[in-house]
């Protein structure tokens, strides 16, 4: 009988729990990431052809329609490059021995330890769904002054605090896209405040921050540059810098994104944007108006991402004194529905049924999304060779767009296997024996086949200050 190495034994133990079920491991931290389908990709960049026009080259006169095709019948090709997230778990000889029972079968103890030790990777992946690849966590709410050697308290709401963990390094930047070396404050999380209402950090770089600056995960840019390394998220595809007005927005949207200049038609190539007409508009009304905008743009919204605290505010807006009668066209006794849970919008879509209240959605921001237009591209170590996808710069092997809507983690060529994500290598010894590093890596990025079918919006801010909404600042 052959003798397995430690690396082989660890991989076999993890495969007992996670093989073909990587979606279970990667999508456990946030409600939003669970709703996005995964698709395999390969190559240095993955090119996708996206709708960039409304298909307006139409006329009763064929020659008229033909003449307009170059102006309005457009496609945009985005060259999507992968971001990456890495988590390292240490396994020693005692752990390995405990991972087998007395008849040599593999017990799930190693998988359980691995699951907990890689929680930050899953949190980071879930949070990155809403970012630009810079590890955006939250907006600073008040002026801060950091002194090396003196603990610094940073107030946050619970949905922001949960994105962090003791020992995690963070940076505070003037602009989201700044290089980390230019951060105004840097430090390590030392403590989570009671009630998850903020953090205490041990500063490693002294400096001052002001309200509106952005807290980001450290290690989210290429050293010495402002190039992001985390997966691109919704804020990269559907930006709303400065409410899409002014010099800051003009500068941002004119910057080439994945090979495309989106400045000529941002609503088509960067999604539509909704901002309330006044600062007193109720959140439930904002969602209805954004849903109308989505339909007007040609979208078919089937999910709405909102922050859990914003969702709670909506429940308060539709209070118990608001009653809604159902079965009004029936002779049967009318039923009285009370509150938000049974509230239906008077259109073909029940808005409330579409809401996904995700703890990682930044507060004050929401998305009205067409699910079939979005996919999380993942770069794996093994690829299945299928048919050519028709884009010359892509290698064969991708499922077609028609396969994305009904994607299944366990469906043949689309399986996500544990060995595609795991790297096992020797490490230094510990007091409990020789150790091995088990490295979980996610390499991928969000992609959108039809940006115009989606809407990003902000809820009204009572004080009119939208800089507190993550993503408003450049």
Using alpha carbons, select from 258, 253, 259 the residue that is nearest to residue 232.
258
Between 73 and 116, residue with greater pLDDT: 116
pLDDT band at 192 (very low <50, low <70, confident <90, very high): very high
The pLDDT tens digits for 377-413 are 988 654 443 434 444 444 444 444 344 444 444 444 3
Of 124-133, 168-177, 276-285, 309-318, minimum mean pLDDT range: 309-318
The pLDDT tens digits for 3-13 are 445 555 555 55
Residues paired with residue 356 on neighbouring β-strands, in sequence order = 305
* The pLDDT of residue 198: 96
Of 87-96, 134-143, 194-203, 332-341, minimum mean pLDDT range: 332-341
Query: Cβ atoms within 10 A of the Cβ of 42, count?
Result: 18
Decide: 10 and 96 in contact? Cβ < 8 Å.
yes
pLDDT band at 103 (very low <50, low <70, confident <90, very high): very low
Highest mean pLDDT among 30-34, 43-47, 101-105, 234-238: 234-238
Using alpha carbons, select from 286, 260, 258 the residue that is nearest to residue 273.
286
| Residue-wise DSSP of 252-290 | HHTS-BTTB--SS-HHHHS-EEE--SSTT--HHHHHHHH
In a domain, 209, yes or no: no
Using alpha carbons, select from 132, 83, 171 the residue that is nearest to residue 441.
83
Between 353 and 252, residue with greater pLDDT: 252
The pTM of the full predicted model, rounded to 2 decimals, is 0.80
* The pLDDT of residue 15: 56
The pLDDT tens digits for 53-95 are 666 677 888 888 787 766 655 677 899 999 988 877 677 666 6
Distance between CA 285 and CA 280 in Å, rounded? 10
421 in helix, strand or coil?
coil
* The pLDDT of residue 94: 61
* The pLDDT of residue 1: 39
pLDDT band at 349 (very low <50, low <70, confident <90, very high): low
* The pLDDT of residue 439: 74
Decide: 77 and 259 in contact? Cβ < 8 Å.
yes
Distance between CA 382 and CA 94 in Å, rounded? 32
pLDDT band at 265 (very low <50, low <70, confident <90, very high): confident
In a domain, 179, yes or no: no
Q: What percent of the chain has pLDDT over 90?
A: 49
- Which ranges of 27-138 would DSSP assign to H, the alpha helix? 31-34, 62-72, 93-98, 109-117, 119-128
CA distance to 217, 233, 314, 360, 382, per residue, from 308 (Å): 22, 19, 10, 8, 38
pLDDT higher than threshold 70 for residue 421: no
Q: What is the mean pLDDT of residues 12-25?
A: 54
Helix, strand, coil percentages in the chain from 3-state DSSP, rounded to 5? 30, 25, 45
In a domain, 177, yes or no: no
Q: What torsion, rounded to 10 degrees, do the Cα atoms 330, 334, 335, 341 define?
A: 60
pLDDT band at 166 (very low <50, low <70, confident <90, very high): very high
Q: What is the mean pLDDT of residues 131-159?
A: 97
Q: What is the mean pLDDT of the chain?
A: 79
Backbone conformation region of residue 55, classed left if phi is above 0, alpha if psi is from -120 to 50, else beta: left
Distance between CA 312 and CA 15 in Å, rounded? 40
pLDDT higher than threshold 50 for residue 434: yes
* The pLDDT of residue 123: 87
* The pLDDT of residue 72: 59
pLDDT higher than threshold 90 for residue 347: no
Q: The domain containing residue 406 runs over which residues?
A: 6-133+230-468
The helix-helix angle for 109-117 and 119-128 (nearest 10°) equals 50
In a domain, 304, yes or no: yes
* The pLDDT of residue 40: 82
136 in helix, strand or coil?
strand
* The pLDDT of residue 226: 92
In a domain, 199, yes or no: no
Total of domains in the chain = 1
In a domain, 377, yes or no: yes
In a domain, 145, yes or no: no
Distance between CA 174 and CA 205 in Å, rounded? 14
CA distance to 33, 108, 135, 259, 377, per residue, from 83 (Å): 16, 30, 11, 16, 10
Q: What is the DSSP letter of 433?
A: B
In a domain, 457, yes or no: yes
């Amino acid at each position: 009988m052959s003798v397995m190495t430690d690396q082989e034994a660890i991989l076999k133990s993890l495969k007992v729990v996670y093989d073909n079920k990587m979606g279970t491991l990667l999508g456990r931290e946030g409600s939003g990431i669970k709703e996005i389908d995964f698709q395999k990709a390969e190559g240095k960049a993955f090119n996708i052809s996206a709708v960039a026009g409304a298909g307006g080259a139409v006329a009763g006169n064929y020659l008229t329609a033909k003449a307009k095709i170059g102006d309005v019948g457009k496609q945009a090709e985005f060259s999507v490059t992968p971001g990456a997230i890495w988590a390292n778990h240490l396994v020693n000889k005692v752990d390995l021995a405990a991972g087998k029972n007395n008849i040599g079968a593999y017990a799930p103890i190693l998988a359980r330890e691995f699951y907990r030790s890689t929680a930050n990777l899953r949190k980071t992946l879930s949070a990155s769904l809403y970012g630009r690849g810079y590890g955006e966590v939250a907006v600073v709410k008040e002026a801060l002054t950091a002194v090396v050697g003196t603990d610094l308290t940073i107030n946050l709401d619970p949905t922001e605090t949960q994105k962090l963990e003791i020992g995690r390094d963070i940076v505070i930047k003037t602009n989201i896209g700044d290089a980390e070396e230019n951060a105004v404050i840097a430090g390590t999380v030392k403590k989570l405040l009671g009630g998850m209402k903020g953090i205490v950090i041990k500063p490693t770089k002294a400096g001052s921050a002001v309200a509106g600056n952005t807290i980001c995960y450290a290690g989210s840019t290429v050293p010495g540059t402002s190039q992001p390394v985390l997966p691109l998220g919704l804020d990269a595809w559907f930006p709303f810098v400065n409410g899409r007005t002014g010099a800051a927005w003009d500068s941002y949207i004119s910057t080439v994104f994945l090979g495309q200049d989106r400045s000529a038609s941002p609503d088509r190539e960067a999604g539509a944007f909704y901002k309330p007409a006044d600062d007193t508009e109720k959140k439930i009304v904002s969602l209805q108006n954004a849903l109308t905008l989505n339909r007007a743009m040609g979208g078919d919204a089937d999910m709405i991402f909102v922050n859990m605290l914003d969702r709670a505010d909506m429940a308060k807006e539709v209070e118990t004194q608001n009653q809604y009668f159902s079965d009004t066209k029936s002779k049967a006794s009318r039923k009285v529905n009370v509150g938000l849970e049974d509230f239906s919008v008077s259109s073909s879509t029940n808005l409330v049924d579409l809401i996904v209240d995700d703890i990682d959605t930044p507060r004050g921001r929401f998305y009205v999304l067409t699910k079939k237009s979005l996919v999380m591209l993942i770069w794996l170590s093994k690829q299945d060779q299928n048919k050519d996808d028709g884009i010359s710069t892509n290698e064969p092997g991708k499922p077609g767009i028609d396969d994305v809507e009904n994607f299944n983690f366990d469906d043949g060529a689309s399986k996500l296997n544990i060995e595609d994500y795991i790297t096992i290598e020797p490490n230094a010894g510990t007091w409990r024996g020789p150790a091995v590093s088990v490295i979980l890596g996610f390499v991928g990025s969000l992609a959108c086949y039809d940006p115009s079918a989606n809407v990003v919006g902000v809820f009204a801010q009572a004080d009119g200050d939208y800089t507190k909404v993550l993503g408003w600042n450049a």
